[in-house]
Copies of this chain bind each other. A is one copy, B any other.
Amino acid sequence: MSSAHLIDRVLAGDTRAVARAISKVEDGAGDSFVLLKALFPHTGRGLVVGITGSPGAGKSTLVDRLAALYRQRGERVGIVAVDPSSPFSGGAILGDRIRMQTLGLDPGVFIRSMATRGNLGGLARATVDAVAILDAAGFQKIIVETVGVGQDEVEIVKTADVSVVVLVPGMGDDIQAIKAGIMEIGDVFVINKADREGVLRTEKELEALLSLAERRDGWSPPIVKTVATESRGVEELAAAIESYREFQKGTDASLARRAAVARWRILELLRERLLARALDAEGADAQLDALALEVADKRRDPYSAVEAFIAAGVLGEPRS
């Protein structure tokens, strides 16, 4: 399929074309820039909802139920799940198969798992690009689900229009750390598994923490209690997401946030481009292998190895 044809098919909302386009950006294919440049003017119509929280918080079920609700309202839903990946095999862990069982073969739902692939792979960058593709393809709601609270996850969640943080009652001794870490990210908080013991205490703790940290934009993040497995509270979650979206429209903070996100995206892309250019140069790979062996053997330190690599001048020059 030619690039131009692929672009047309994506803009027409063809899910197979969307899948192919996402693979291209995930692989960092050379022509993915052409594709993304052409699609970018068509983005900005869908609502991007980021959902994050600890493993075991029931995010996947919550995402499925929220997606089902949006479907009932006649909207097309894209789901991008950021999987922790195996560092050795490089593949996504769960993949799409399990998710597909719940949401079935509904053509109005597109599900994709993202995982890091190799050294060039900016997982955060690839995820944001996948969201842009779904947006351009006319999906009205795009849900980005991330496992864990790592650096990449935080970056990804920051790029969403509305960020939802999922907690569960009585999570143990890391709860304070997690809460603090995601405090400033959450536009909406969910206490899932709200039929469990300790929900009141978790709610009180959360309220106390939220009251301490006043947001620059003046928004007070609502707390929604859900039991995702029984679809309880999912309508309320959708309403809370919508209310932040409405609030956001009237603030200046929105442009500042978009500019910060744009700066981050440019830096991520720049980082990848510069490294790719350096590694594309003739002989670069062999030199890198040789230096790595020297470092492994303790014949050289990694810092001077980098300097040697740069000094060897195999860095590619701008192609323009």
Please indicate the chain B residues that have their CB under 8 angstroms from the CB of A147 in the complex: 149, 174, 177-178
Contacts A/B (CB < 8 Å), 14 sampled: A40-B302, A54-B56, A61-B173, A84-B177, A85-B154, A87-B185, A116-B151, A150-B152, A150-B153, A265-B302, A266-B288, A267-B288, A269-B306, A270-B309
Please indicate the chain B residues that have their CB under 8 angstroms from the CB of A301 in the complex: 36-37, 40-41
Say whether A142 faces chain B, with CB atoms less than 8 Å apart. Answer: no
Please indicate the chain B residues that have their CB under 8 angstroms from the CB of A54 in the complex: 54-56, 148
A99 to chain B, nearest CB (A): 11
A73 to chain B, nearest CB (A): 26
Q: Spell out A's residues near B (CB within 8 Å).
A: 33, 36-37, 40-41, 44, 54-61, 83-89, 93-94, 116, 119, 123, 147-155, 158, 171-178, 180-185, 255, 258-267, 269-271, 273-275, 278, 288-289, 291-293, 295-298, 301-307, 309-311, 313, 315, 318, 320
Please indicate the chain B residues that have their CB under 8 angstroms from the CB of A313 in the complex: 318
| CB-based contact A178/B310 at 8 Å | no
| CB-based contact A262/B302 at 8 Å | yes
- Known A-B contacts A152-B151, A173-B61, A273-B306; the reply to A296 vs B84 at CB < 8 A is no
A210 to chain B, nearest CB (A): 14
| CB-based contact B304/A37 at 8 Å | yes
Q: Cα distance A93–B150 when bound, in Å? A: 13
Q: A86-B181, A147-B178, A269-B306 are in contact. List 9 more A-B contacts (CB 8 A).
A: A83-B177, A84-B150, A84-B151, A87-B158, A94-B176, A119-B267, A150-B153, A152-B152, A274-B275
Q: Cα distance A184–B255 when bound, in Å? A: 43
Please indicate the chain B residues that have their CB under 8 angstroms from the CB of A182 in the complex: 84
Q: Cα distance A218–B87 when bound, in Å? A: 18
- Known A-B contacts A54-B55, A259-B296; the reply to A94 vs B311 at CB < 8 A is no
Residue on B with the closest CB to A270? Answer: B306
Please indicate the chain B residues that have their CB under 8 angstroms from the CB of A180 in the complex: 86, 93-94
| CB-based contact A184/B270 at 8 Å | no
| CB-based contact B270/A275 at 8 Å | yes
Please indicate the chain B residues that have their CB under 8 angstroms from the CB of A255 in the complex: 296-297
Q: Which 4 A-B pairs have the closest CB atoms?
A: A150-B150, A56-B172, A40-B301, A55-B174
A145 to chain B, nearest CB (A): 11
- Known A-B contacts A177-B84, A184-B87, A303-B37; the reply to A292 vs B262 at CB < 8 A is yes
Partner of A271, one of B57, B158, B271: B271
| CB-based contact A261/B296 at 8 Å | yes
Residue on B with the closest CB to A258? Answer: B296
| CB-based contact A172/B58 at 8 Å | yes
Please indicate the chain B residues that have their CB under 8 angstroms from the CB of A41 in the complex: 298, 301
Partner of A119, one of B171, B262, B264: B264
Please indicate the chain B residues that have their CB under 8 angstroms from the CB of A155 in the complex: 87
Identify which of A41, A274, A289 gathers the most chain B CB atoms within 10 Å of its CB. Answer: A274
A161 to chain B, nearest CB (A): 13
A35 to chain B, nearest CB (A): 9
